[in-house]
Structure formats: C-alpha cells, structure tokens
C-alpha cells in the first residue's frame, strides 16, 4: 500500500510549485483502532512567512527550518510531526487521541434519567445521541447555570449543546433502545464534584457502583433521588425514589443530588421531627402498657401476700394470747405492720408508674411530634389504679 503521506505531498507539490500561499486544507485518514493521520497544507509557507490558517489555529515559526517559514498549529488532540526530509516544506498533524471504546446505555419507553459513564469522543449532543436518532423527543439537563434543553426538531434554539462524562440528563424515548457512543477509555472511576444546590450527575468510570453513604461525606447534608423506570411525569413524587431506599450510585444512571446549605440542614432537622411513625408509636404504647401490666401483677401479688400474712398473724393473736393486754398489743402490732407495708408498696407502685410514663414520653418523641398531637394522654390516666391499694 503506498504511503498516503507521500501521495498527498506529491499532489500538493504541484500547487506549491506556483509559489502560492495556499489556505489550510485537511485530509483525514482512518487507520483503524481509533487512530488517524491528519495532513495539513501548507505547513511551511515558502513564498512569504505568513500562512492562511483556519480559525482557531495559530501560525507558528520554527528556527529549525527558517525563521521566516512556519506552520499552522494543529487542532485539539493532534500534534505536529516534522517531515523526514529537512528540505521538505510540509509536516503533518498526527492524532494523539487514544483508542476509542464503545459505551452503551439502555433506555426504556418514557422518561429515563441517565448519565454518561465515559467522555465521548465527540461531545456534541447530536453526535452522542446519533445511535438513537428519531427514537427520542427531547433531552433536559442541569448545571450551575440552570436547566438546559435539547430538541432534535428545534436545534437552533436548544440550549443543551454537549454531553460529558458524569453529566446526568433526562431523555424521553418513543420506544426502548440502547444508546451507543464512542468514548475515550478510562481506567479510573470517580464521582463528580458537587456544587451547593441541585446537581444532576452520575458515576464516571466503567461498571460497578458506589455506596451512597460512603460516597457522600455526611448524608444529613444531602437529598438524593433518582427516577423509577417507565415514568410519564418525572416531576411527580410518585416517579421518584429517594435515599435510603436507593443505597448505591449505579453506572449509567442519573441522580438528582441536592447539597444543602447550613440553614437548610437545620430546617431539615426540624422538619424531620414533624412526621409520625405509626409503627414506632404503636410499639411505644405496647411497651408502656406491658410495663404497667407487669407492675400491676407485682403490686397485686405483694398486696395479696400482705393480706395473707395479716390474716395469719391476727388469727394467732386470738388463739395464742390468753392475756387480754398482751393480745391487744399483738393485734395492734399486726395492723401497724400491715399499714407500714401497704404504704411502702404504694410508694413503689407510684415510682414504677412514673418511670413507665417517663420512658413512654421519651419513646414517643422519637416517633415524631405528631404522635403527641394525636395522643396527648399523660400519666394521670393511671391514677385510678391506686384504688386497688387500700388508702390507710
């Protein structure tokens, strides 16, 4: 196969032979594997020291050849390669773009919230979405500057121009399809830097996932959610699924992440107390009443034992003491002991009741302030339980 560079140079030599300064002309050849050779002419302007370079390319000189001669600066991702022959008036711009890889993102009918896991070779949105052309209606994204929109039928007024690695976006599909684009390979994985406020992002890298609680430094500073599949209204709360229901950031998925300000964090903590966890309050009520029932069982058992002892000792006083004075003294002793034991039992019962309700108040607060609003009953409701203990 002939050397393409030599062929190109021989063709262009006929033009240079006329002593003309030729504007930049480029020929790109694909050699496979994602590499190509871009030939630029003229690299050196022989008749005068100025070249007509394309917009964005700077004319440069090089004393290796001649201070009056020069070449047009190579485009992005290309470097200038000097000619083998020092006397040649041209070099070439050689691609330094690494071998491309193919990235794939599955999409379903309706709204999808996704992100690019790898940087596309051509970030222009039409190029990135070329594989699903005609299968989607619109794309929205978000950055520090606000929301951006792309419509394939209104490209002139669309504000979303490019898509990059880690950038999240929502795309509405007419039918299920797989987005395929050529990307710059990357062996590293990372998560995009987050700004204060809302961010629409996704993991950067190939495959894998990131545990949300490990990726974000303090979860109380963030609000995180993604979209369910096959949603018709992405703004509806029913379409969203929040952390901690979702536990990991997955490759190719998109996530809304709000990094809160200090004031928002404080407000969030206050608001968190204004919910009602019905299962929590039900467990707290059960715990309180089980403790009350256990206390009542212990109270009644102790009271019964005191009455049994009283009955036994009074009977013995009548049977064992023939002396009236001694008998009366024994009877008084039995009743005094009974009264003392009853009072002690009442104090213990009152302490148990108070502690049970104090613990319930602590447990109830953990269930949200609405629990107090819905059930404001206090320990006084159990005061009637004292009726079972004699008032002596």
Q: DSSP string of 260-295?
A: PPHHHHHHHHHHHTT---HHHHHHHHHHHHHHHHHH
Q: What is the pLDDT of residue 44?
A: 36
Segment 193-218 shows an average pLDDT of 86
Q: What's the CA gap between 198 and 260, in Å, rounded?
A: 9
CA gyration radius, the chain = 42
Distances (CA, A) of 292 to 176, 287, 326, 354: 61, 9, 43, 10
Q: What's the CA gap between 254 and 192, in Å, rounded?
A: 12
Q: What's the CA gap between 150 and 160, in Å, rounded?
A: 5
Q: What's the CA gap between 373 and 381, in Å, rounded?
A: 17
Residue 46: pLDDT band with limits 50, 70, 90 = very low
Q: H or E segment at 40?
A: strand 36-41
Name the pTM for this structure. 0.49
Q: What is the pLDDT of residue 29?
A: 28
Dihedral of alpha carbons 204, 205, 209, 210, sign? negative
241 pLDDT more than 70: yes
Q: DSSP string of 113-150?
A: EEEBSS-BSS-BHHHHTGGGTTSEEEEEEEETTEEEEE
Please, are residues 126 and 53 in contact by the beta-carbon 8 Å criterion? no
16 pLDDT more than 90: no
Tokens of 172: 């509405």
At 108-160, the pLDDT tens digits run 999 999 999 999 999 999 999 999 999 999 999 998 778 999 999 998 899 99
Q: Which residues contact 341 (CB under 8 A, 6 or more apart)?
A: 306
Please, are residues 103 and 89 in contact by the beta-carbon 8 Å criterion? no
Q: What's the CA gap between 122 and 112, in Å, rounded?
A: 22
């Amino acid at each position: 196969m002939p050397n393409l560079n030599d062929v190109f140079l021989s063709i262009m030599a006929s033009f240079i032979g006329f002593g003309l300064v030729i504007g930049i002309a480029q020929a790109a050849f694909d050699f496979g594997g994602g590499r190509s050779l871009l030939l630029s002419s003229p690299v050196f302007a022989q008749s005068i020291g100025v070249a007509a370079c394309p917009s964005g390319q700077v004319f440069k000189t090089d004393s290796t050849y001649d201070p009056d001669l020069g070449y047009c600066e190579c485009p992005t991702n290309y470097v200038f390669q000097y000619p083998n022959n020092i006397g040649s008036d041209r070099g070439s711009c050689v691609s330094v773009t690494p071998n491309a890889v193919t990235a794939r993102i599955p999409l379903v009918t309706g709204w999808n919230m996704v992100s690019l896991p790898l940087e596309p070779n051509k970030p222009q949105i039409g190029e990135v979405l070329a594989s699903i052309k005609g299968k989607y209606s619109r794309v929205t994204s978000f950055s520090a500057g606000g929301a951006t929109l792309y419509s394939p039928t209104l490209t002139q007024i669309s504000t979303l121009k490019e898509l990059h690695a880690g950038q999240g976006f929502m795309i509405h599909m007419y039918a299920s399809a797989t987005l395929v684009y050529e990307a710059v390979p990357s062996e590293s994985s990372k998560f995009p830097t987050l700004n204060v406020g809302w961010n629409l992002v996704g993991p950067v890298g190939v495959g894998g996932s990131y545990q949300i609680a490990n990726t974000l430094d303090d979860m109380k500073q963030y609000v995180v959610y993604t979209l369910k599949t096959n949603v018709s209204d992405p703004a509806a709360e029913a379409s969203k699924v929040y952390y901690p229901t979702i536990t990991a950031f997955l490759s190719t998925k998109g996530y809304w992440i709000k990094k809160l300000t200090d004031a928002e964090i404080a407000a969030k903590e206050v608001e968190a107390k204004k919910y009602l966890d019905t299962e929590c309050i039900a467990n707290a009520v059960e715990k309180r009443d089980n403790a009350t029932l256990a206390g009542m069982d212990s109270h009644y058992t102790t009271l019964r034992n005191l009455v049994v002892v009283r009955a036994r000792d009074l009977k013995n006083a009548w049977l064992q003491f023939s002396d009236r004075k001694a008998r009366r003294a024994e009877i008084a002793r039995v009743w005094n002991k009974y009264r003392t034991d009853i009072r002690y039992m009442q104090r213990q019962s009152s302490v148990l009741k108070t502690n049970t309700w104090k613990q319930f108040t602590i447990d109830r607060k953990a269930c949200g302030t609405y629990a107090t609003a819905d059930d404001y009953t206090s320990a006084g409701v159990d005061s009637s339980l004292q009726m079972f203990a004699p008032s002596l």
